[in-house]
Each structure stands twice: as C-alpha cells, then as structure tokens.
Structure 1
Amino acid sequence: MDDELPVRVMLGRLLRLAEYRVREFATGEEFLGSLSTRLPLCAIVDLHMPGLSGFEVQSRIRAASLRVPVVFITGSDEDALERMALAAGATKLLRKPFSSDELLGAIGGAIGSVGRTRMGG
C-alpha cells in the first residue's frame, strides 16, 4: 500500500506481470480492514503515509497474530529506518527508487519466510 497513486499503479502492474494477484490500498486503514476477509501472501507497505504509518500497520498485524510478511518501502534515506523496520518485524526495507528485481526478490524472500515458519523450519 502506498498513498501515492502513481506508485500503487506501478507496483500493481509490475506484480501482475510477475503473475501475482494484487489488491491495492491507499491507506493502512483500508488494508487492515481487508484482512478480515483475506490474508495476502505478502504486504508491501510504505512507511510514511497519512493516517496510520507503515510501522503502525505492522504493529497491528503483529498484535492480531496474523502471518502476513511485510516489505516496507520508503523514500527516506534516514539511516536508522532499516534497523527499525527489521526490529518491527518486516522482512525487508526497500528505498525508493528500487528496481523491479529488488522488489520481486524481497517479495519472494518474504513469502518463503512464511512458508518455512509454517513448516517449522
């Protein structure tokens, strides 16, 4: 999810080309509301959004004990963000602009980490 429409459109196109089923959300509130009907294999969450921040979204996912791996994206170059993102439970932090290979690799790693957890490995 990203509050910027052009970013959501670009991410959606890229992921559909990679044969992922995609749902796009402009806010953390919209995304969290959708989790009662369907859990995604992975969530791509912008750290800085109006309303709930990416960290707040991640915190609510964890508080609900949902197994949804999160890949954070950000336009910020603040050094501490990567450490904070990983400490919050994200599988990866990507800084904009990132390549499609970086994004697809992060998603693959996130999905694989959940599979290993569910299998006990």
Structure 2
Amino acid sequence: MVAIIDDDESVRLATASLVRSIGMTTSTFASAEEFLFSPHARDASCLITDVQMPGMSGVELQAYLLKNGNDVPVIFMTAFPEERIRQQVDAAGAIGFLSKPFDGGTMIACIDKALKRDRAAKGGHASRAAFEA
C-alpha cells in the first residue's frame, strides 16, 4: 500500500489516481498526524508526502519515522524545491524529491525504486504484482 500525505486535496486525489493507474493500492491522508494515527502507519510500503504542510512537515515525518525504527521509503513532493531541504531528505534516505507539478512517469519510477528497496529490506523478492490491488 502506498500512503499519500498532502494537505492539498486535489494533489492527494491526482497522486492517488496515478498510483492506482499502475495497479497499486493507496490510502490518502490530509496530514502527517492523520497518517501516524492511522492503522497504515506501520504497513505502508512507500510514502509520498508533501514537504510543507500545516502541523508536522513531511521532513519532520521522515525524521520521526526513522527515529522510531520505521525506514519506509519516502518520496517527497513540493511546490517550493529548496536545495537545502533536498540535501537533508536525501541524506536521510529519500527515494525522490519531486517539484510540483511533477511528471507522472518520474513519480512511477520513484515508486518502483521505493518498492524494490522495501522488498530488499524485508528480504523478499516479490514482483510488483504482490503489491498490486
């Protein structure tokens, strides 16, 4: 399951539609806190999150998850691409840092990379079909 976290509903819906178009299941969240309090906080195979959101930012979410032993692959998207933020999230293991609006093909490539990393971390060798709806 791919978790999509963005305070902008139109971005959440468009990203979820893109992810579902490649056969993946999704859950969407309006905030990092909503995601953390959901039952999906531990079972997501990949996170796609906005960098800047009210409350906890996507960067803070990544740091929180890592601090608590959850190294789920994270793809960031932002309308304000700052090199300093890119370097920070990359150093923490981000899979991608995409500027809005982003190319759908680029997002799909990031998701494929994230799922491969997630499977390797779990010791599995399943095909993407194992993660499809």
Q: Which runs of 4+ in 1 moved over 4 A?
A: 35-38
SS at structure 2 position matched to 1:103:
helix
CA distance 1:18–1:36, change in 2 (3 Å): closer
What is the TM-score normalised by the length of structure 1?
0.90
State the Cα deviation string for residues 32-77 of structure 1 (Å, max 9, x = none): 1125675111000101000000111111111111131110111113
SS at structure 2 position matched to 1:24:
strand
What is the TM-score normalised by the length of structure 2?
0.83
SS at structure 1 position matched to 2:27:
coil
What does residue 85 of structure 1 align with?
A: 89
Native 8 Å contact 2:35 2:41 kept in 1: no
CA distance 1:36–1:98, change in 2 (3 Å): closer
CA distance 1:49–1:106, change in 2 (3 Å): same
Q: Please, which runs of 5 or more residues in structure 1 have no aligned partner? A: none
What does residue 128 of structure 2 align with?
A: none
Q: How many pairs were matched up?
A: 120
CA distance 1:74–1:119, change in 2 (3 Å): same
Q: Please, which runs of 5 or more residues in structure 2 have no aligned partner? A: 125-133
What does residue 10 of structure 1 align with?
A: 14
Give the RMSD, CA atoms, in angstroms: 1.7
More strand by share: 2
CA distance 1:36–1:96, change in 2 (3 Å): closer
State how far apart, in whole Å, the 2-side matches of 1:32 and 1:73 are: 19
What does residue 114 of structure 1 align with?
A: 118
What does residue 45 of structure 1 align with?
A: 49
Is 2:38 the partner of 1:34? yes
1:19 to partner: Cα distance: 0.8
